[in-house]
Amino acid sequence: MSVLEFRPEGIYCSQGDFYIDPWRPVDKALITHGHADHARFGSKKYLCTDIAAPVIRHRLGNVAIETIPYEKELSLNGVNVSFYPAGHVPGSAQILIEIKGERWVVSGDYKVVDDGLSTPFKPIKCHSFISECTFGLPAFNWSPQEIVFKEINSWWHQCISDDLTPILAAYGLGKAQRLIAGLDTNIGPILTHGAIEKTNQIMRDQKIAIPETFLVTSKLDLANFKNAIVLAPPSALSTSWVKKFGKISTGYASGWMAIRGIKRRRAADKGFVISDHADWNGLNLVIKETEAEKIFVTHGYTDSFSKWLQFKGLNASVVKTEFTTTEDDI
């Protein structure tokens, strides 16, 4: 009997009788992180890291959540379970499942870069590794985040010179907070859309160091926030919400900005290539460090990446899941 199996509801451990990031409601769900394609409403009980829990509660509402710190081992029906840092967003985890010495790891989403907010990724040796490969092509090769922050701050300066309000589109959980931490507040204040500010406050309540931001409301007098930059989720840029800022310049912070066609479709004035997922080199590094005998790749460029791993002599295959890879998953 395999340690984990792939069912219509999700990734299942039969001996432990639990699922990992299920996409259907189940009795017991172990959750890697709070993004909507991994933490879904409807299950009876949830288990996640203590850092991830506040955001998951905010997103899912009044659900039964048990928490666990990183690297603490828990026995579920004789199955040893532990959560290790994934580096994706604050509280994100890889989940190690061990039965009689056989070790399987479900990666969730991950990145190997230390973003300064998330607990840095920690590689885990295992026999079988279930890995995302959102950006599993050689074209995806990230620059150091310090360089990207410098580019964003330079654009912000230029917008001020051109009498434009810069509006930077970023995913509300993880990416937005990472960008806020990298912005130079000597240039001006940071204004935020409500979807981002709610998550900011949850993280501040956890003592995660999120710099000062100001929520955009109908009562906010923009005249008091000279030279401001605005952070908003990508969906907000196609609504009337942006009209209040007058003449604007739009920027998107996303790994997908590495693809010119996507940048054109977004009609973005600026595209900044930065992602909370591992790039090509990061994916290959992690898989090497696991020393896994079997690799299962999930959402992303699964066919191409699995063929590459097979070419390198690894036992790799594609697993169909309902984790999503969209242009907003940044």
Please state the domain count of the chain. Answer: 2
E strands in the chain: 5-7, 10-13, 18-20, 28-30, 45-49, 64-68, 74-76, 79-85, 93-99, 102-106, 128-133, 165-169, 190-192, 214-215, 229-232, 248-253, 270-272, 294-300, 315-318
Domain, as residue range, for 287: 5-139+276-318
Q: Is 325 within the bounds of a domain?
A: no
| Residues 152 and 34 grouped into a single domain | no
| Residues 100 and 72 grouped into a single domain | yes
The whole-number pLDDT of residue 326 equals 53
| Residues 254 and 309 grouped into a single domain | no
The whole-number pLDDT of residue 325 equals 61
| Residues 84 and 173 grouped into a single domain | no
Q: Is 323 within the bounds of a domain?
A: no
| Residues 134 and 282 grouped into a single domain | yes
Q: Is 324 within the bounds of a domain?
A: no
The whole-number pLDDT of residue 264 equals 72
What average pLDDT does the chain have?
95
| Residues 251 and 287 grouped into a single domain | no
Distance between CA atoms of 128 and 126, rounded to whole angstroms? Answer: 6
Question: 85: helix, coil or strand?
Answer: strand
Cβ proximity of 312 and 305 under 8 Å: no
Q: Is 298 within the bounds of a domain?
A: yes
| Residues 192 and 282 grouped into a single domain | no
Cβ proximity of 329 and 175 under 8 Å: no
Final residue belonging to a domain, choices 237, 252, 272: 272
CB-hemisphere CA count at 13 Å for 94?
Answer: 28
Q: Per residue of the chain (330 residues), what is the pLDDT tens digit?
A: 799 999 999 999 999 999 999 999 999 999 999 999 999 999 999 999 999 999 999 999 999 999 999 999 999 999 999 999 999 999 999 999 999 999 999 999 999 999 999 999 999 999 999 999 999 999 999 999 999 999 999 999 999 999 999 999 999 999 999 999 999 999 999 999 999 999 999 999 999 999 999 999 999 999 999 999 999 999 999 899 999 999 999 999 999 999 977 767 777 899 999 999 999 999 999 999 999 999 999 999 999 999 999 999 999 999 988 887 654 444
Q: How many residues does the chain have?
A: 330
Specify the pTM: 0.95
Q: How many CB atoms lie within 10 A of CB 238?
A: 11
Calculate helix-pair angle for 145-161, 175-182, nearest 10 degrees.
70
Q: Is 329 within the bounds of a domain?
A: no
- For 64, the token pair is 């039964």
| Residues 107 and 195 grouped into a single domain | no
Distance between CA atoms of 326 and 230, rounded to whole angstroms? Answer: 23
The whole-number pLDDT of residue 330 equals 47
- For 327, the token pair is 């242009």
| Residues 105 and 195 grouped into a single domain | no
Q: Is 260 within the bounds of a domain?
A: yes
Distance between CA atoms of 202 and 188, rounded to whole angstroms? Answer: 24
Question: 227: helix, coil or strand?
Answer: coil
| Residues 41 and 93 grouped into a single domain | yes
Residue 261 belongs to a domain with what CATH number?
3.40.50.10710
| Residues 111 and 90 grouped into a single domain | yes
Residue 107 belongs to a domain with what CATH number?
3.60.15.10
